Amino acid sequence: MPRPRCCRRVAGRPACGLFTPAGGACGAREEVVLAVDELEALRLADLEGLYQEQAAGRMKVSRQTFARIVESARKKVAAALVQGKALRIQGGVVEVAAMRKFTCSECKRDWDVPHGTPRPRKCPACGGVNIHRHPADRGGRGRRGGGGRGRCLRGRQAAAELRTADSPED
């Protein structure tokens, strides 16, 4: 049995979920399905031009996992373009990170910053520079693979349910 997928953090849901070839006669009935996390990998790597390690940190996955995601995404997009198929964006185990929460160590104030904007340099209330990510917003394993459990428990809950279902009853 394969290991359940963990949540991947994405900046947001796509505005449009289906792209079809112009004219419609080029085999547009067939579709290639691109997962939301694959679209996010393309955005980070190709649109923003981030290195794989930086992009993997944003998605809360390892660099190797990010490389596999972006490789799969590029193959699917190329197949859709070359073969004249429609490209549908849907699915995947993702967590939308629209806002990041920061806290000031000096005045203990919390505030939100939109995802994708630079890290704040000072507290908007007191002007202090000793600011950190809010503890509730630090989910996932991060770049160093620390012990944080993350916020997505869907895979862990499914695995736990399977273990209890497979265990012999007394």
Instruction: Find how far residue 58's CA is from the centre of its chain.
Output: 7
What's the pLDDT score for residue 142?
Answer: 45
pLDDT at 138: 65
CATH class entry, domain 98-142: mainly beta
The predicted structure's pLDDT at residue 71: 96
Q: Read off the pLDDT of residues 146-163 as tens digits, 9 standing for 90 and up.
A: 444 444 545 444 445 444
- The third-level CATH classification (topology) of the domain covering 8-95 is Arc Repressor Mutant, subunit A (1.10.10)
**Token code pair at residue 119:** 């890290």
- The mean pLDDT of 69-89, rounded to a whole number, is 93
Indicate if the pLDDT at residue 144 is higher than 50: no
Domain boundaries defined on the chain: 8-95, 98-142
**Facing residues of 96 across strands?**
10
User: Where in the chain does DSSP place strands (E)?
Assistant: 8-10, 18-19, 31-34, 86-89, 94-96, 99-104, 110-114, 131-133
pLDDT digits (tens, 9 = 90+) for 24-56: 655 557 899 999 889 989 999 998 898 999 988
Q: Which pLDDT does position 121 carry in this prediction?
A: 87
Q: How far apart, in whole angstroms, are the C-alpha atoms of residue 78 and residue 99?
A: 32
pLDDT attached to residue 141: 43
Amino acid at 71: E
Cα–Cα distance for residue pair 125/77, rounded to 1 Å: 46
Q: What's the whole-number mean pLDDT along residues 76-88?
A: 92
